Amino acid sequence: MARTAAYERPSATPRAWQAVLEHIEAQLLSGELAAGDRLPGERQLSTDLGVGRSSVREALRVLEAMGLVRTATGSGPTAGAIIVATPAGAMGALMRLQVAARGFPVADIVRTRLVLEASVVEELAGADPVPSLAELTRLLDAMDARDLAPDDFLALDAAFHLGLAEASGNQVIAATMAGLRSGIEGYARAGVARLADWGATSARLRHEHRGVLEAIRASDATLARTLIRDHIAGYYAETLAETSAPPTARPAAPIPAPPVSKEIRSW
């Protein structure tokens, strides 16, 4: 259908943080920036690129997750972000993935997320001790703001899922999730227009996020895996629903997910 075809191609207009990321990526790939070089400060990058400093920080966070920069707080010659690796070989491919992700079929991105994120939460739940989830909790608290616009909510949502990957300590998974982030956020934003009730959906998503964290804290790897798969596949299914369907109807997920546990059905 034309509706689905359009949905498979998220908007090519980059968000502000993506513009910063692509600017730095281009300099790395061209050799203009190399290992040991220090990036301009947040204020200068913000002024040069015409974006907010929060967008600069978000781009640096993605580059740090990919293992390309290291950031330090404070002031003086050691503050800011320094290049610690150049995007050669596999890392170069991951950087190109970040740019290409906006054009990937959504179904392929979702299937990849199901594999990666199910593995991530299972590993986190099985860790002893469980890694700190404080930053992830902070993101969920920010998503509870009543006046949060859908785009801002979904930007925090993407940060939450990337944060799960980073918490696992697996740099390859974290880098791959960072590479897919623009595609993930793109299809999530495109789906908002297909929702009958954004308020109800966002409330459900917040509840599901917290359920995943609680399962991790409880060291219940099976439940954490089930919850994250239901969460990812559920939003994909809901946002591909026909607009003529009854508001309460939920289509079967195009991507098979494990059966919803008894605990979830009782919520």
More confident residue, 160 or 255: 160
Q: Is residue 264 part of a domain?
A: no
Q: Do 58 and 129 fall within a single domain? A: no
Q: Do 142 and 232 fall within a single domain? A: yes
**Among candidates 156, 144, 131, which has minimal Cα distance to 219?**
131
Q: Do 179 and 108 fall within a single domain? A: yes
Give me the pLDDT at residue 265, please: 39
**Among candidates 163, 240, 155, 159, which has minimal Cα distance to 194?**
240
Give me the pLDDT at residue 185, please: 83
**Among candidates 242, 236, 134, 148, which has minimal Cα distance to 184?**
236
Q: What's the pLDDT band for 99 if we cut at 50, 70, 90? A: low
**CA atoms in the 13 A half-sphere facing the CB of 257:** 29
Q: Is residue 10 part of a domain?
A: no
Give me the pLDDT at residue 79, please: 59
Does 264 have pLDDT greater than 80? no
The region, left, alpha or beta by phi > 0 then psi within -120 to 50, assigned to residue 219 is left
* Weakest mean pLDDT among 69-73, 136-140, 258-262: 258-262
Q: Do 103 and 78 fall within a single domain? A: no
**Among candidates 21, 106, 92, which has minimal Cα distance to 57?**
21
Q: Which domain holds residue 182?
A: 90-240
Give me the pLDDT at residue 220, please: 97
Give me the pLDDT at residue 140, please: 94
- Return the amino acid letter for 150: P
Q: Do 106 and 68 fall within a single domain? A: no
Does 76 have pLDDT greater than 80? no
Q: Is residue 22 part of a domain?
A: yes
Q: What is the pLDDT of the chain when averaged over all its residues?
A: 78
**Among candidates 125, 67, 55, 130, which has minimal Cα distance to 95?**
67
- pLDDT tens-digit map of 138-176: 999 999 988 888 988 998 898 899 899 989 988 888 888
Does 62 have pLDDT greater than 50? yes
Q: Is residue 178 part of a domain?
A: yes
Q: Is residue 104 part of a domain?
A: yes
Last residue of a domain, one of 27, 52, 83: 83
The Cα–Cα gap between 223 and 216 comes to 8
Q: Do 27 and 77 fall within a single domain? A: yes
Query: What do you get for the CA distance between the two ends of the chain, in Å?
Result: 35
Give the total number of structural domains in the chain. Answer: 2
Does an H or E element contain 231, and which? helix 221-239
Q: Do 145 and 230 fall within a single domain? A: yes
Pairing of strands 69-72, 80-83: antiparallel
Give 31's contacts (C-beta < 8 A, 6+ positions apart): 86
Q: Residue 229 to residues 11, 13, 221, 232, 247: CA-CA distances in angstroms?
A: 25, 29, 12, 5, 23
Q: Do 75 and 109 fall within a single domain? A: no
**Among candidates 66, 98, 117, which has minimal Cα distance to 180?**
98
CATH of the domain at 232: 1.20.120.530
Q: Do 116 and 144 fall within a single domain? A: yes
Does 227 have pLDDT greater than 90? yes
* Weakest mean pLDDT among 68-77, 151-160, 198-207: 68-77
Give me the pLDDT at residue 120, please: 97
Give me the pLDDT at residue 10, please: 41
CATH of the domain at 57: 1.10.10.10
**Among candidates 183, 185, 174, which has minimal Cα distance to 68?**
174
